[in-house]
Amino acid sequence: MVYRISLLLLVFVAAATPTASADKQTYIVHMDKAKITALDSMLGDSRKWYEEVMDSITELSTEEEGGEEETSPPQLLYAYETAITGFAAKLSTKQLESLNKVEGFMSAVPDEILSLHTTHSPQFLGLHPWRGLWFAPHFTTDVIIGVIDSGIWPEHVSFHDWGMPPVPSRWKGVCEEGTNFTSSNCNKKLIGAKAFFQGYESKRKKINETEDFRSPRDSLGHGTHTASIAAGNVVPGASLFGMGKGFASGMMYSSRIAVYKACYALGCFASDVLAAIDQAVSDGVDVLSLSLGGPSRPYYSDPVAIASLGAVQKGVVVAFPAGNSGPSDLSVFNSAPWMMTVAASSMDRSFSTIVKLGNGEIFHGASLYSGKSTQQLLLVYNETAGEEGAQLCNGGTLSPDLVKGKIVVCDRGNDSPVERGNAGKGEVVKMAGGAGMLLLNTDEQGEELIADPHILPATSLGASAANSIRKYLTSGNATASIFFKGTAYGNPAPAVAAFSSRGPAFVEAYVIKPDVTAPGVNILAAWPPTVSPSGLQSDKRSVTFNVLSGTSMSCPHVSGIAALLKSVHKDWSPAAIKSALMTTAYTQNNKWAPILDLGFNGSESANPFAYGSGHVDPMRASNPGLIYDITHEDYLNYLCSLKYTPEQMALVSRESFTCPNDTVLQPGDLNYPSFAVVFDSDVLNNSATYRRTVTNVGLPCSTYVVRVQEPEGVSVRVEPNVLKFRHLNQKLSYRVSFVAERESSSSGEAVFGSLSWVFWKYTVRSPIAVTWQQPEEY
């Protein structure tokens, strides 16, 4: 009878028929897993019993509309059962308050909007046909990558199923039909597709099916691009306007793809993303790639972080982008320790331009413009180009009388999305009659060069060139020409992109984030033929491959590599795969110099808050020697060490979890493959000791010796300093003590080092970041 009462109260948040109500808001409701499991055993599928009870009970609410009373039941949008427990519903304030009386109710948070964050990259990553990880005996076809994004263009050659064996029998997903999408659009490559838009439509308006699709079909291009980076077929002769020509391929081109569309023109709503995660885990994906994210917050109030933990608990590797808010510190997104958080960096390929000024100075830039080079033309900028704000080249700021037939100098910025905003400035210049555009980086954007498919002669230029050009403009009658060289190779690479978000994590600093970096600058991958390469409506060009930049592009690189590792090591946990990627990452570029940070002046070495453990190396990751494994209980104990309350722990664990009271827990003891040490800037003698356990996955008999690069002003002691293994899968533990050798440091200061275990060809490296903070900051 107790369950029946709870169920009757619960129907206030369940309804099958949507209604428009101005006082309603969509909420994500967390329920106690144990209570809901008990109800499920009595009544069956959770959504069915929500709807069944809703048939008999509704709540009446009076609304002033034409003087008539109107029934306004709550609207059930989704029931979450696998990666997260609860539901999404559109509720009035009164209905929300009634949830406090429901047995099993834990919390409700408002829905929120999340933002969406290749021919050469496989070779840059050391992946070659018939060699190493792409060698047939290891290259199985039963690994399934789930992509949660803006959908897919299923007819694209990257998703054909030539020569693929039948779909794995364990697959439980479906190919959902909808606008311009039928079950025949799926095949043995694209084995599942489903769209989630209940949350989007409850917050926005019904999707305009002349512009978008209420189906898995992609109208933005973003999802098609990311899916092909992770798992697209090998496609010869791929290019954009003849640039970047070569074999396009996903990181694991033999894997299956399952697409979950949760992102539309106005963004991705958390309720839809949660439904997608829940469905993907239930369907049986091995890896989830989500090139999206929202603002940082404590994990107990972050539904996506909670659902991701549920996915990892089920054995699914979950990869997220670090975000595109760099190069500022504390800007990293998706920082939960169970997430694989990926930064973005450059490759040694560029789409090169040369800008020659009238005074003889020459600068190198980047562009995907496919037309002719310009003659020497007059330059205009800021007040010589239009009214106030003309330096940003926003719509309506340029004067046709001033810019016609001239090259307009524009500052990059004004919160334009990194993937498409720059081409939009070119459109403004072209509509005003400009003959070309120089797009100048700010000092913060440093020396990164984003190549865009401009609709007029245009190029991006780094900060040092930009400052010289601004100075030259003051001389009067300044001129310039732009020469387009096309594709070039041999640049020092990788280098961390300025836009790539930086650590430490705003939520808590006890884990270094991001985890690794991967190619994310000027990435060529699949594209829908109905979407212009620039994303501009005035651009009528149709292409089948496009070049984008962002951590949205680096994330699926790592998702695909994780699938490769899963195919070789089927018994490895998500934490083991993550450990292998991190401990084998490298920190030197192709010129044997430290990886640079392109932000600010572009000449400084990057650090772990920019690239985590370093740049991924798929071949070395397949045989890392040692791994740091983490269980689900380890993650929960970590949250206990952050002083989460029982109520907060229940939200994350989705059930009652009691923190151990007979053990002293500290955040630094999470068995993470990196070391984040937080010292009190007010304390004179800081010290910390952390414990780690490594598992031997290399040679049965092996002896590893520790090698430490100490952070400046911090001594590091490891006990024992030798680990002797006698069989595979043997686990050995060690302790690391960190002692500050200086009296104090200012809050926010950080120093870096590394700890490596070395044996034969194996170097199992972990970065060290020591940060001084005020006590209230952590």
Task: Report the catalytic residues.
Answer: 149, 222, 552
Confirm if 651 and 306 have CB atoms less than 8 A apart: yes
Q: Return d(Cα 382, Cα 392) in angstroms, integer.
A: 8
Confirm if 257 and 172 have CB atoms less than 8 A apart: no
Q: Return d(Cα 18, Cα 641) in angstroms, integer.
A: 43
Amino acid code (one letter) for 753: G
Q: Return d(Cα 388, Cα 470) in angstroms, integer.
A: 17
β 317-321/287-290 pair status = parallel
Q: Return d(Cα 293, Cα 300) in angstroms, integer.
A: 16
Helix orientation angle between 222-231 and 551-568, rounded to the nearest 10 degrees: 30
Burial class (CB in 10 A: 0-12, 13-18, 19+), 157: middle
Sheet holding 105-110: strands in order across? Answer: 75-80, 86-91, 25-31, 105-110
Amino acid code (one letter) for 356: K
The DSSP code for 254 is T
Residue 408: how many CA atoms within 13 Å on its side-chain side? Answer: 34
Q: Which residues contact 630 (CB under 8 A, 6 or more apart)?
A: 337, 338, 573, 575, 670, 671, 672
The 3-state DSSP class for residue 365 equals strand
Q: How far is CA 343 from CA 100, 280, 549, in A?
A: 41, 24, 12
∠ CA 583-588-590, nearest 5°, is 125
Q: How far is CA 180 from CA 208, 222, 530, 535, in A?
A: 13, 18, 13, 21
∠ CA 173-175-179, nearest 5°, is 145
Q: Is 376 left (phi over 0), alpha (psi -120 to 50) or beta?
A: beta
Q: Return d(Cα 507, Cα 515) in angstroms, integer.
A: 15
The 3-state DSSP class for residue 490 equals coil
Q: Return d(Cα 99, Cα 86) in angstroms, integer.
A: 12
Helix orientation angle between 2-10 and 33-43, rounded to the nearest 10 degrees: 100
Q: Return d(Cα 118, Cα 247) in angstroms, integer.
A: 8
